[in-house]
Chains A and B, each alone.
Chain A
Amino acid sequence: MVIKTREQGNIAVFDIEGEIRRTDTVEETLHSLVEGQLNRGRRNILLNLAGVGFIDSFGVGQILASYISTQDLGGRLKLCRVSQKLLLIFQITMLDKVLEIHDDCSKALASFGTA
């Protein structure tokens, strides 16, 4: 899994590529990276999942932990370009009712401004 972080205005965008699995040992998890941004004062987080081929429950947990951390600080975490498979997981677990998911990342970025 490769996570690139970029900033777009007051939004921290995480471009994630590869697979998010519990078996992949990485030094920094998605959650720790999001927390890093939160610690730096960023409150708007966008997870771009366009390059994610597979995500397991560990990956979903990372997303949810990031969501909670952001929410706790009064911030907003949104997702864009979610694969059909991941969307299916979100639908079955009803997380699509909780998480804000956009098909298009630019629209997601724009939604931070309007929300």
Chain B
Amino acid sequence: MADGRLERFLRRFGDIRGREARTALAVTTYFFLITFAFYIIKPVKESLLIGNNPAWWPYADLATALLIGFVVALNARLLDRLPRRTYLTASLLFFTACLFVFWQVFSYYTQRQFQTPVVDSSGTLFLIWAQSVVVRSWPIPVIAFCFWSDVFIAMSITQFWISVNDIFDPHQAKRLVGLFVTGGLLGGIAGSAVAMVLPQLRFIKLDDVLLVVPVILVLAMIMVNLIYAGRQRVDAAAGEGRIGPSARVGYLESSRAVRRSRYLLLLAGMLAAAMVAGSLINYQFKAAVRSAFEDPAMRTSFVAFFFLALWVVSTIIHLATTGRFLKSYGIRWAISLAPLILLGGMAAVFLVPASVVLVWAVAVRGADKGFDGTLSQSVRELLYIPVPADVKYKAKIFIDMFVNKFATGLGAGLYLVLYHVRHFAYRDSQPLAIIRELGLAAMIFLVLWLVLTRLVYREYPAVLKSDIRRLHKEGREAVADHVDVDLTLKVFNTIQSRERSATLYYMNVFDLVRSKDLTPELRELLGIKRDEIKARAVDALVDVGGGTFFPGLEEALTDAAFQKEIDLVFLLPSYQRIMDGRLGVIAASSSELDRIEAAHSIARMAARPATLEALARLLQDPSPEVALYALSSAAVHRRPEHIPLIMRLLANPATLSEAQAALAAYGPGSEGLLAGALRADGTPLEIRRALPEVLARIGTQKAADILVAELAVRRDGMEPSLIDALYHIRTDRPQVRFRDKDLRPELRRLIRSACDVVLEPAGAPEESRAALEIRLRRVFDLLTLLYPREDIVNDYQNIRQGTAKSVDYALEHLDNLLEREDKERLFPLIEDLPPEERLSRLKKALRLK
């Protein structure tokens, strides 16, 4: 099948993209074959076990719980020594060989003869000895077979997910997990169907059913080799998903990986509780089946039919709902659904009559296994996503191989205790009573499971976040970290003022001194010492702008007593009286320099009517330089009557920034005046656009509320400055709160407008892309108001510039954070999708035709 057609076909079952179709199909087939094989083995195993004394039932599980550790240790050692491809092939060969041995043993027991070719006399002696061993040790071979089948499925499933981890990145795996699970479900259906039909055929004996399995395992081997054929890099020791030979993954190492993480501990606990409950449900099921069927072939067919029905129903539910359920309700509910439903089912056992106990057992075990193979399995894999690859590998080994089996063992232990304490051996005729007593124990673990799901979910976003690192500092942060903007401006003004006049220069240096900003480095930068030398050398002949440099400037200005005296001069009544008369004249002077100096000095003068009047005049000065100094002085005096004059300066790009700073200096209490100007119809747009930044610098809750309210007005041309200002507040004032009900509609409108850029592109593709980038940036800026800022910024940066893996983590984090409606519309915009796919998803999300 051509790639395109194959991709189209596979997309019915999962989100297949690009060139991953062939590999995805091979991996899906691999999973199909494993489950196919296992679900032929499983009904035979269960039927054999149920046919034996119930007192033996738990020993199969206990054997698994006790011995699985050794198998895992061997598994780890082989994994260390063999390339992944070789290891997986060898494992499958081993399981194939084992099957022939078990088939031989079971054939002997059921028919009391070995089906072998001609044997010599020594062979006959061996067969007689073997015969007595098998008969005398029965049902130990059944227990051994159960243990072996548990090892087979545990190792095969783990190996499968490890191969998924090798081949795909987490977000890819999340998209494709639906397809893989579909393969597994189909395998289960096929295996169960084979196990159901074959025992009913007269010419095939029950044991011969097992002979189908080696054929399937050989096909699985071929599939493994196909998958890894193009993935040499995975086999290389340095591969990301490959655990190098130095990493010894035994019980201690894997358990240490889990113990180090609270999240993994909770996850292990949750899975263990689920497993214990499942184990007890399994004993209830066995008890119900044992009481209903005596004939082994019928029993095997029924068990196989149960699994077949289970897989069919699970597949339908999985295809119809798993992906949709996860997308719609997220992990939060997907993780809780199984324990909730099972708890309800378990409570029902106390109401059902004995005649329908088999139906009840089928329903409850069906629900348990059904969830386990579909929704719960998908969720489990998703829960591993935020765990680093090497830790995940170890944790999966520990949880799948140890925790699960330990939980099964615990379930078996509980059954054994109940069996003996409650005398089940003498109550073979009361299966319902036994099932109810087991139900009580199961309910305890179902409740524990439910509690642990909540705890795991609470930890999940935090673990996910730890994988998303900040790529770079935001512009504002980077500037703030490295540059003191206000000081830089002061220094710049000071240097520039040297060219204008010595007086202005001294005034500026004095300002720097007073604000304790004149560091030795800055003094050097300003060249104060050089100026002294220059001044001495030319002996004040060099007249810079009408004044001479004072050689003792440095000592004088840095002398605290001297500074104090200057401050006191400004307070002198005589000084104030003189300035009352002269300041107005200077402010009206035709000399720009005089006006600049006046505008500068007013900052230190007392707020007398004449001073404020002169300041008002200077704020209206046609010279931007005068206005700049006047703005600095206005920021000191903070008189309400100056606000309209300062606002006018917002319209001039030359004075905009200083005017914003001056207005911001009015601080809390001035928000009402600013809001009035923001809302007034007569306010020019350029002034209106500059006001949000002023409110942001004030940064009070009231300022934030005004900005949010103004955003809701949706005035033309205001959105960028309002969102910038709100983001500014969010960055600088984390204590300010934003109400969801106020912001959510604006967020949705903004997401919609970003969608429109894609749905109805205007201009060249580059322009549309740029427009989309800008709108997405604003969407994320608004998201920081509703969710933790740091997380959203990290997500945004990683989505825009991160590695494939960090993009996945960021998307996964957002997936768990955002509301459904927002996710549906935002994800097609931020995910890496082909254009037609993006368009189709957006239309679907917006319910457009």
Contact = CB atoms under 8 A, between A and B. Distances in A.
Chain B binds chain A:
yes
Interface of A: 56-57, 60-61, 64-65, 67-68, 84-85, 87-89, 91-98
Nearest to B551: A84
Contact of A57 (B551, B557, B568, B604): B568
A84 B539 CA distance: 12
Nearest to B553: A88
Residue of A64, A65, A87, A97 contacting most chain B CB atoms (<10 Å)? A97
A64 B574 CA distance: 6
B556 A88 contact: yes
A91, A94, A95, A96 pick with most chain B CB within 10 angstroms: A94
Given A84-B552, A91-B502, A92-B507, 14 more contacts: A57-B565, A57-B566, A60-B569, A61-B572, A65-B574, A67-B574, A85-B562, A88-B556, A89-B569, A92-B510, A94-B579, A95-B569, A95-B575, A97-B598
A60 B552 CA distance: 19
B550 A93 contact: no
Given A60-B569, A91-B502, A92-B506, A97 B574 contact: no
Contacts of B507: 91-92
B31 to A, nearest CB: 83
21 contacts: A57-B568, A57-B572, A61-B574, A68-B574, A85-B552, A85-B556, A87-B550, A88-B550, A89-B565, A91-B503, A91-B506, A91-B507, A91-B547, A92-B503, A94-B503, A94-B579, A94-B601, A95-B575, A96-B503, A97-B586, A98-B579
Contacts of A64: 572, 574-575, 578
B270 to A, nearest CB: 73
A8 B502 CA distance: 33
Interface string B577-617: 11100100010000000100110010010000000000000
B601 A93 contact: yes
A98 B567 CA distance: 18
B570 interface: yes
A94 B572 CA distance: 14
Point out which of A84, A92, A97 has the most chain B C-beta atoms below 10 A from its C-beta: A92
A70 to B, nearest CB: 12
Given A60-B569, A94-B598, A97-B594, A84 B550 contact: yes
A55 to B, nearest CB: 8
A57 B594 CA distance: 23
A82 to B, nearest CB: 11
A97 B586 CA distance: 8
A87 B503 CA distance: 10
A81 to B, nearest CB: 14
Interface in B537-577: 547, 550-553, 556-557, 562, 564-572, 574-575, 577
Nearest to B568: A57
A110 to B, nearest CB: 21
A86 to B, nearest CB: 10
B217 to A, nearest CB: 94
Contacts of B551: 84
B578 A60 contact: no
Contacts of A84: 550-552, 556
Contact of B578 (A56, A68, A87, A92): A68
Contacts of A89: 565-566, 569
Q: Which 7 A-B pairs have the closest CB atoms?
A: A57-B568, A64-B574, A91-B503, A84-B550, A94-B601, A57-B565, A61-B572
Scoring A64, A67, A84, A88 by chain B CB atoms within 10 A of each residue's CB, the highest score goes to A88
Most interface-central of B510, B557, B565 (chain A CB within 10 A)? B565
Nearest to A89: B566
Given A85-B552, A93-B570, A97-B582, A61 B502 contact: no
Most central of A65, A68, A85 by chain B CB within 10 Å: A85
A93 B506 CA distance: 10
A95 B594 CA distance: 12
Contacts of B502: 91
Contact of A93 (B547, B552, B556, B575): B575
Contacts of B579: 94, 98
A61 to B, nearest CB: 5
A89 B563 CA distance: 9
A67 B578 CA distance: 9
Contacts of B572: 57, 60-61, 64
Main secondary structure of the interface of A (DSSP, over half): helix
Nearest to A67: B578
B569 A98 contact: no
A82 B474 CA distance: 53
A87 B502 CA distance: 11
B576 to A, nearest CB: 10
A25 B570 CA distance: 23
A84 B597 CA distance: 19
Contacts of B582: 97-98
B305 to A, nearest CB: 100
Nearest to B563: A92
Nearest to A57: B568
Contacts of A65: 574
Contacts of B506: 88, 91-92
A85 B565 CA distance: 11
Nearest to A93: B569
Interface in B16-65: none
Contacts of A68: 574, 577-578
B719 to A, nearest CB: 45
Contacts of A97: 582, 586, 594, 597-598
Contacts of B570: 93
Contacts of A67: 574, 578
B569 A57 contact: yes
B561 to A, nearest CB: 8
Contacts of B553: 88
Nearest to B502: A91
Contacts of B594: 97
Nearest to A97: B586
Contacts of A88: 506, 550, 553, 556-557
Contacts of A95: 569, 575, 578
Contacts of A94: 503, 579, 586, 597-598, 601
Interface string B618-644: 000000000000000000000000000
A36 to B, nearest CB: 18
A94 B507 CA distance: 9
A64 B586 CA distance: 18
A46 to B, nearest CB: 18
A75 to B, nearest CB: 15
A95 B578 CA distance: 9
Interface centre among B557, B564, B579, B586 (most CB of A within 10 A): B579
A29 B568 CA distance: 19
Contacts of A56: 565, 568
Contacts of B566: 57, 89, 92-93
A35 to B, nearest CB: 13
A56 B561 CA distance: 9
A98 to B, nearest CB: 5
Nearest to B574: A64
A104 to B, nearest CB: 13
A61 B550 contact: no
A56 to B, nearest CB: 5
A22 B503 CA distance: 26
Nearest to A66: B574
B575 A61 contact: yes
B601 to A, nearest CB: 4
B559 to A, nearest CB: 9
A103 to B, nearest CB: 9
A15 B604 CA distance: 31
Contacts of B503: 91-92, 94, 96
A61 B568 CA distance: 9
B549 to A, nearest CB: 9
Name the residue in B507, B568, B578 with the highest tally of chain A Cβ atoms < 10 Å from its Cβ.
B578
